[in-house]
Amino acid sequence: MSLMTGEQYVESIRKMNINIYLFGEKVESAVTHPILRPSLNSVKATYDLASMPEFEDLMTTTSMITGNKINRFTNIHKSTDDLIKKVKMQRLLGQKTASCFQRCVGMDAFNAVFSTTYEIDEKYQTSYHKRFKDFMVHVQENDLTVDGAMTDPKGDRSLAPHAQIDKDLYLRVVERREDGVVVRGAKVHQTGICNSHEVLVMPTIAMGPDDKAYAISFAIPVDADGIVLIVGRQSCDTRKLEGSTIDVGNSEFGGVEALTVFDDVFVPNERIFLDGETEFAGMMVERFAGYHRQSYGGCKVGVGDVLIGATALATEYSKVEKASHVKDKLIEMVHLNETLYSSGIACSAEGYKTSSGNYLIDLMLANVCKQNVTRFPYEIARLAEDLAGGLMVTAPSEKDLNSPVVGKYVQKYLVGADSLPFEKKLKILRLIENLTLGTAAVGYRTESMHGAGSPQAQRIMIARQSNMAHKKAIAKAIAKIED
């Protein structure tokens, strides 16, 4: 098998027995549940677009392992051109779905684990890299969606993993067998795991010698025994249960996250890619974080494009689009959005080849990209809310609009300029609400802050990559200061 169609992907998830809980009750199927289905549709779009000739160059590429055609979301980056096309693909998907399309975490995890396992093998003569390449062939040839899992609950963050009162607050090995290991713990904020075939687990922080049980990386099917997914709440999520196509803002696409519990899950040896080599945990974390911070220069920009377009339409529907302050605010939104994109492209263009053969982004510029993402989408959202007006959050519902009793009042008093029907105006206001305050805000505004690490995490990396000694030396040279 090579590339799946969108419908084939949906059917592949339907056949899985994923253990999902939502509102305290077991979900029979992620494919049919009205809250979960829009999230599945976003992943489906990554398959649909890959089958369209006009998007083939961005959505597909050639595997450096097999030489076969693959979906770019399963790619091991072969060049800076691959890195740049990754960002452009993510912007395209953001424009098409106005939500998180969920396959980026797995793609970023692939590339971090690929190069790290190579370097572990170089030092310890282990076989992690071959195991991982075998896993990647399985993923690429079957066009699988893989969720990358890094963030642990962490408990008392002043303590190392091994020093926690509850030892399970970081995922760890609790039993060793001849054919594999048993792991226990949890991963939090797992975007898209309800829609994934496999989960690729990595450590969450750099570790010391006493943390060997926690220095574990592996891949396992999402419906493996012992894995429990507990879906997180989102603002306005139950609107999807009301049957309204307008009030949800984005009726077709969305995203969900889950607390992912590993309750004594068995992992076979051939699926283990790091096991106790604590000095490499930090490398894996740093590389994954760099790739994922690069990703935000694409996906958030695409969603930003939709938000800017919706805001421009809202001003036109109220006939204020020609006001100078309105035009200036829209220009500022575009400026901020394109600045994010330029950071994503820059860190890709400055990427370099690792010893394993895949390409790593420029880590400094990737962290600058994500630092900007923790700020600019908030300003873009603020300007969108400013220009949309208060009706964005006080408008009556679609049921009121269609009510035989009060509908006539809604249409009469909330009509747009030039007698624009309120239904048309409401649709665009609900979309802006969805992107700035509703369910999509999790994948745009809030995720811009915390996804791929908090702002302080990027500042730490920027400090490490700043090469301050070199900057001091060139300043001394210009000032003619001799030591």
Q: How many Cα atoms occupy the beta-carbon half-sphere of 252 within 13 Å?
A: 8
Report which residue type is found at 305.
D
**Which residue from 340, 329, 328 is spatially nearest to 304, judged by alpha carbons?**
340
Q: Which of 9, 214, 296, 359 is catalytic?
A: 296
Does 447 participate in catalysis according to the annotation? yes
d(CA 112, CA 257): 22
The number of residues making up the chain comes to: 483
Structure tokens at 94: 């953001």
In contact, 307 and 434? CB cutoff 8 Å: no
Sorted by sequence, the CB contacts under 8 Å of residue 119 that are 6+ apart come out as 280, 283, 355, 356
Sorted by sequence, the CB contacts under 8 Å of residue 100 that are 6+ apart come out as 42, 191, 192, 255, 299, 442, 443, 447
- The sign of the torsion formed by the CA atoms of 108, 8, 140, 270 equals positive
Q: Which of 61, 100, 359, 398 is catalytic?
A: 100
Report which residue type is found at 402.
N
In contact, 135 and 187? CB cutoff 8 Å: no
Which element (helix H / strand E) includes 198?
strand 198-201
Does 292 participate in catalysis according to the annotation? yes
Does 433 participate in catalysis according to the annotation? no
**Which residue from 195, 204, 203, 201 is spatially nearest to 219, judged by alpha carbons?**
201
d(CA 428, CA 433): 9
Does 191 participate in catalysis according to the annotation? yes
What b/e string do you get for 37-51 counting C-beta neighbours within 10 Å, with b at 16 or more? bbbbbbbbbbbbbbb
Q: Which of 151, 260, 292, 315 is catalytic?
A: 292
In contact, 38 and 99? CB cutoff 8 Å: yes
Q: Which of 61, 116, 117, 191 is catalytic?
A: 191
Does 335 participate in catalysis according to the annotation? no
Sorted by sequence, the CB contacts under 8 Å of residue 142 that are 6+ apart come out as 1, 4, 197
Q: How many Cα atoms occupy the beta-carbon half-sphere of 146 within 13 Å?
A: 29
Does 194 participate in catalysis according to the annotation? no
Does 100 participate in catalysis according to the annotation? yes
- Residues forming the active site: 100, 104, 191, 257, 292, 296, 299, 447
